[in-house]
Amino acid sequence: MDYGTTPLHGLPSRVTICEVGPRDGLQNEQAVLPVEVKAEFVARLVDAGHTLIETTSFVPAKWIPQLADAEELLDAITLAPGVRYPVLVPNERGLERALAAGVRDIAVFGSVTETFARRNLNRTVDESLAMFTPVVARAREAGLGVRGYLSMCFGDPWEGEVPVERVVEVATRMMALGCTQLSLGDTIGVATPGRVVAVLDALAAAGIPVDAIAVHFHDTYGQALANTFTALGHGVTTIDASAGGLGGCPYAGSATGNLATEDLLWHLHGLGIETGIDLQKMVDTSIWLAAKLGRPSPSRAVTALGDPLPR
């Protein structure tokens, strides 16, 4: 059924979705999927129209057993022209593995709060930035794109409210290292639109161009899409989302899944914003993957479009 599109003044005409399901999503699922299933997942994402897919992680297998097969997965994927496949690397050893696998984009995962840096990275914020420095420098020398995750930008489960100045400080240092894009993470899903605007305005005032900003909202309290809509109205054109709402954060107890790609697509397409991605193919993929994971997708749109009722 066609419900039409109604554009809204002040929003971008096109948005790039960074699909984080294969990495951020799967690393936080209980089930460990076979490499063939992961490769089919990535192939289905490409077939649906995705052009930016965070594919896996070179974090040591003892930390994230779900992604222990990073090399095999990259071997199993036929890289499509026009598609970028960033992989997460924690350190120089990870970068070497990524370069050996022929990857053209990496991501590093930082924190704006000290507590989360210590719990997730076992380092202070300063120490983690020091760890990233040679990684980003070498990656840029090799011509790679570098996505810098900033987690806990909108609240921290141990520290509570996170000062905007703290986000600006760490964001500025990450850009100075050479990151080509920053992904602002609401890792525990607590943000509301006023805080989103405050952070985006402060980053703009600090001279970080909005083109270098992505937003990464979790739907823990049901706020992810309203926050995304707010960011769109402030010029952000790269939105992180995960197929079917896969994922969360294993170090933050209260965190549930990422913004579901399908809920985001319904939103963007209703607003007449181009994504190049086929919603029904994504719904089919998330239903297929839910069966492999043995649990239903938490995405509202997947539930609605995937049920057998006529519409």
The interface with its own copies within residues 120-159 (CB under 8 A) comprises 154-155, 157
Q: Which is nearer to its own copies, 5 or 280 (CB)?
A: 5
List CB contacts of 143: < 8 A, sequence separation 6 or more.
104
Q: Which residues are designated catalytic?
A: 249
Q: How many chain residues interact with its own copies (CB under 8 A)?
A: 52
Pick from 240, 196, 235, 278: nearest CA to 10:
235
Is residue 221 a contact point for its own copies (CB under 8 A)?
A: yes
Is residue 115 a contact point for its own copies (CB under 8 A)?
A: no
List CB contacts of 92: < 8 A, sequence separation 6 or more.
134, 135, 138
For residue 72, the minimal CB distance to its own copies (Å) is: 34
The interface with its own copies within residues 16-45 (CB under 8 A) comprises none
Is residue 230 a contact point for its own copies (CB under 8 A)?
A: yes
For residue 309, the minimal CB distance to its own copies (Å) is: 4
Q: Which is nearer to its own copies, 7 or 34 (CB)?
A: 7
Amino acid identity at 172: T
List CB contacts of 12: < 8 A, sequence separation 6 or more.
232, 235, 237, 273
Is residue 234 a contact point for its own copies (CB under 8 A)?
A: no
> Using the rule CB under 8 A, which residue among 172, 180, 237, 256 binds its own copies?
256
> Using the rule CB under 8 A, which residue among 49, 145, 270, 296 binds its own copies?
270
C-alpha distances in angstroms, 87 versus 19, 96, 188, 225, 256? 12, 12, 22, 25, 22
Q: For the chain, what is the largest distance between any 2 Cα atoms, rounded to a whole number of angstroms?
A: 56
Pick from 199, 127, 116: nearest CA to 159:
116
Stretch that binds its own copies, among 73-81, 170-178, 227-235, 288-296 (CB under 8 A): 227-235
Is residue 82 a contact point for its own copies (CB under 8 A)?
A: no
For residue 86, the minimal CB distance to its own copies (Å) is: 26
Stretch that binds its own copies, among 30-38, 68-76, 173-181, 303-311 (CB under 8 A): 303-311
Chain residues in the site for its own copies (CB under 8 A): 1-8, 154-155, 157, 160-161, 189-195, 197-198, 219-223, 225-226, 228-230, 253-254, 256, 260, 263, 266-267, 270-272, 299-301, 303-305, 307, 309-311
